[in-house]
Amino acid sequence: MTQASAITLIGWPRKLRTLFAVHYAEMMEFRAEIALWAVATMLPLIMMGVWAQAGESGKFPFSQVEVFRYFIVVYLIRQVTISWIIHHFEFLVVTGRLSPMLLHPVDPCIRFILMHLGEQLTRLPFALAIVGVFLFLYPQTITGGPEGTLWWPGWQNIVLAVIACYTAFLLRFFMQYALSMAAFWHERVAAMDAILFLPYMFFSGLIFPFEVLPDPLREILLWTPFPYMVWFPAALIVHGEAPILRGFLTMFIWTAVFFILYRYLWHKGLKHYSAMGA
């Protein structure tokens, strides 16, 4: 934080806004590719099909309408919590392009976060279009409530879920960013992310609602960071039955752990990096 402390705090909002605008414009250049990412992240919507059929059978603790709501919300949450920093960071370190960024008065981490937000905003319209297709196919998602009432999660749940969503983004981001620091010592860290991605895919609620898990397994998983990246914010919106206090507390603690880990490895890594003459 040494570089950052030199700057007065007053200038920050403007700086962040400018940087965000820059990165948003940069990402808009890649919109064709980013639109494809909206398709490439459709796994929850594919799983929605299988679970919807299962929900119809009455053998599961949820109805078909709840399945539609859950997975459409999960898909949207996925859109604002994706992190790809490890690929970018590997590229910056291997090609040495990290060096000029270090001379900048703003910590690269802040730029990376704004880059992600810019990319998310670019992707959002495409994701909304995809959600539109599914709502058209399955209008009962909205209308399927009791006595034909339209679906409305309530303001309180929405606000909580949005906060949870962005905390989830930071959690996922710092988890991956901490791992990215290995790039200072290794050439191919992006491949390591595959190992982290698996528990994320299977235990975050991305491909099944947590309600189907046997109780002991669910209890164990609730101590790990993964369910809070997808299931927790989704549950807040879909039925509001989520352990709110425990959820936010666990999220904050894990985010702090990964943040501290990243700061520690960052300082260690930078010494190693400059020692290589880069």
Partner 1 sequence: MPRHLNILRIFWSASISAEMEYRVNFLMAAITSVMTLAGTVLMLFLFYRTGYQMGGWPWRDALAVVGVFTFLEGTQSTFMTPNRTRVTEHVREGTLDFVLLKPVDSQFWLSVRSISLWGLPNILMGLVIVAYALVTRESSPHLTGVLLGGIAMLLAVLMLYSIGYLLSTISIWYIKLYNITMAMQALVETGRYPITAYPAAYQVFFTFVLPVAFMTTVPAQLMTARGGAGWLLGAAVVAGLLLMLSIAFWRFALRYYTSASS
Write out the residues near partner 1 by the rule CB under 8 A.
30, 32-33, 36-37, 39-43, 46, 49-50, 52-54, 57, 59-60, 137, 188, 191-192, 194-195, 198, 201-202, 207-208, 212-213
Q: Which is nearer to partner 1, 17 or 186 (CB)?
A: 186
Q: Which is nearer to partner 1, 3 or 53 (CB)?
A: 53
Q: Which is nearer to partner 1, 4 or 26 (CB)?
A: 26
The b/e string for 174-199 (b: 16+ C-beta within 10 A; e otherwise) is: bbbbbbbbbbbeeeebbebbeeeeee
In angstroms, give the least distance from the CB of 195 to partner 1. 7
In angstroms, give the least distance from the CB of 170 to partner 1. 25
**226 half-sphere exposure, CB direction, 13 A CA radius:** 19
Q: Which is nearer to partner 1, 44 or 118 (CB)?
A: 44
CA proximity to 210, closest of 62, 54, 57, 50? 62
In angstroms, give the least distance from the CB of 257 to partner 1. 23
**51 half-sphere exposure, CB direction, 13 A CA radius:** 26
CA proximity to 164, closest of 258, 238, 261? 238
- Contact 181/109 with Cβ under 8 angstroms? no
In angstroms, give the least distance from the CB of 83 to partner 1. 16
In angstroms, give the least distance from the CB of 133 to partner 1. 10
Helix axes 155-180, 85-95, angle to 10 degrees: 30
Length of the chain: 278
Helix axes 155-180, 244-275, angle to 10 degrees: 30
DSSP-derived 3-state class of residue 210: helix
In angstroms, give the least distance from the CB of 198 to partner 1. 5
In angstroms, give the least distance from the CB of 135 to partner 1. 13
Q: Which is nearer to partner 1, 109 or 192 (CB)?
A: 192
The answer to whether the Cα torsion of 185, 190, 191, 195 is positive or negative is positive
- Contact 112/85 with Cβ under 8 angstroms? yes
Q: Which is nearer to partner 1, 52 or 165 (CB)?
A: 52
Q: Which is nearer to partner 1, 164 or 207 (CB)?
A: 207
